[in-house]
Amino acid sequence: MAGHSHSANIKHRKNAVDAKKGKLFSKLSKGMISAAREGGGELETNPKLRLAVEKAKAANMTRDSIERAIKKGSGADADAADFEEQLYEGYAPGGVAILVTCLTDNRNRTAPDIKHTFDKRGGNLGAPGSVAFMFDFRSIFVIANGERDEEALMELALECGAEDVEVGDEYSTVFADPTDFMTVKEGLDAAGANVESAEIGYVPQNTVTIDDKGVAEKLLKLIEILEDNDDVQDVYSNYDIPEEWLTELQG
């Protein structure tokens, strides 16, 4: 789940991820298989695969599992599925915009499943382009502040080649161009930054404030069910929900 503030929501996302480790590993494997199928199994020449492997390592996926997924996608396993990327756009309760990225081997299964979830949970699946224009595609890194103040965090980000920083109380979010993902990631690692998450994804240009707890609960439930779909890789949205509500509603 990616709402308006990655730094504010990081601990909630981590708790949710830890509770669904098995499903997460399955999705990470699918991402590596797809990337290796598309660009080959060599990390040095396949940036998409490097990113997929970085995400798998960040989730503590074992080396053997990572290697098996790469072999499947690069042709060593003839039974590997042929996945395609799909992007679904829609609106959730409260007028919140939702982007759903999927990897599927059967779009005739995935599209009706996504539409059914939107319809059942008070949302509306929109046409292509109806929501995506509200988001920017960027590299996103959430780092623990540690002893660094705002000035030091800004300096660190700029030295690593990033464009912007959103500073929070405990965590800060570093934003960069998608093509600079590995450069910035390596710079943060070299500087000793504690990188809690690293991804290339969608960042909302503006947010929708949710001031009704009932609406917030419906919105988070819709996102939870979408994320639980085996074909869904990530769900992005532009909500702004009070942190205390997030803590309560997500347990």
What local confidence, expressed as pLDDT, does residue 200 receive? 87
Measure the CA angle with vertex 6, ends 5 and 11; round to 5°: 115
What local confidence, expressed as pLDDT, does residue 2 receive? 47
What local confidence, expressed as pLDDT, does residue 1 receive? 43
Q: How does residue 236 score in pLDDT terms, banded at 50, 70 and 90?
A: very high
Span 85-120+206-249: which CATH code?
Answer: 3.30.70.980
Share of the chain above pLDDT 70, in %: 88
Span 6-73: which CATH code?
Answer: 1.10.10.200
What local confidence, expressed as pLDDT, does residue 169 receive? 86
Task: For residue range 181-203, list pLDDT tens digits in order.
Answer: 889 999 999 999 998 888 888 99
Residue 16 confidence (pLDDT) above 80: no
Q: How does residue 132 score in pLDDT terms, banded at 50, 70 and 90?
A: very high
- How far apart (Å, rounded) are the C-alpha atoms in residues 113 and 231? 10
What local confidence, expressed as pLDDT, does residue 51 receive? 86
Average of per-residue pLDDT values in the chain: 87
What local confidence, expressed as pLDDT, does residue 21 receive? 64
What local confidence, expressed as pLDDT, does residue 75 receive? 77
Span 134-204: which CATH code?
Answer: 3.30.70.980
Task: For residue range 140-170, list pLDDT tens digits in order.
Answer: 999 999 999 999 999 999 999 999 999 988 8
Phi, psi (degrees; rounded to nearest 5) at 89 = -130, 140
Phi, psi (degrees; rounded to nearest 5) at 212 = -120, 120
Per DSSP bridges, beta strands 232-237 and 84-92 are unpaired
- Asked if 85-120+206-249 and 134-204 have one fold, the answer is yes
Of 3 and 184, which is predicted with more confidence? 184
Task: For residue range 68-126, list pLDDT tens digits in order.
Answer: 999 988 876 555 567 889 999 999 999 999 999 999 989 999 999 999 999 999 999 99
- How far apart (Å, rounded) are the C-alpha atoms in residues 91 and 96? 5
Residue type, 154: M
Measure the CA angle with vertex 41, ends 40 and 45; round to 5°: 70
Average the pLDDT over 243-248 and give the result: 85
Average the pLDDT over 18-36 and give the result: 81
Domain boundaries, the chain: 6-73, 85-120+206-249, 134-204
